[in-house]
Amino acid sequence: MSPANSFVARMIDVFAAPQTENPKAYVDEMRKAIAGWDQATLDKAADRLVKKAKFFPRPAEVIEVCEAIAAARVVPDSRPQHGDWTSDALRTASGLIRSDMGREAAKDGWITQLHDFCRQKRRLPKGFEIAKLKTEAKLFDDAYSTCCAGKAGTLNEALKKLGETFLQRRNELAAVANGEAAQ
């Protein structure tokens, strides 16, 4: 059972079906709205809502609780905080990539650029900004391919290893965007 289905089943067990003209449509919309959240977050959200809600919760209520839970997971960094590298900036960026755009970026390979943009600007990109992020990702992929082909000169191996760390970060951020990991 998916995390969203498990959450909805628990809400129905506790609150019964939502009081609306079309409970099935309401539940389907709830599932869609919370689809990106991981099981642990939805379990904690259900715990909180069972204690506080009087009626079947609205999707926006569930998302608010999930965002609060995810924000609380971020361990404060003891290092000095500078500009767009603050815990708040990183948390905001991770929250923003848990979206349709983030899932698209994860699928298409520009999630790292999207996260960096969100960390710096504290918002999702628009129009030409998206195209620029996709171009930056393509430039990285092309440069990494050159390294993998052994055509990057004397620094080839070092650049290849650096590229591997970038790809690892891309995979970590893709997991965040797809609700498979918290950050």
What averages of pLDDT result for each successive group of 10 residues across the chain (183 residues)?
A: 90 90 92 87 93 91 88 64 78 91 95 95 91 95 93 91 94 93 72
CA dihedral 89, 95, 101, 103 (to 10 degrees): 120
Query: Where would I find the beta strands (DSSP E) of 45-180?
Result: none
Quick check: is 183 in a domain? Answer: no
Domain boundary, last residue among 47, 73, 99: 73
- The radius of gyration of the chain from alpha carbons, rounded to an integer in Å, stands at 20
Quick check: is 162 in a domain? Answer: yes
Same domain, yes or no, for 58 and 96? no
> What CA–CA distance (Å, rounded) separates 38 from 62?
13
Residues 3, 39 contacting (CB under 8 angstroms) = yes
Same domain, yes or no, for 64 and 127? no
pTM: 0.57
Which residue in 100, 85, 86, 74 sits closest to 181, CA to CA? 74
Domain of 19, in residue numbers: 3-73
> How high is the pLDDT of residue 183?
64
Number of folded domains that form the chain: 2
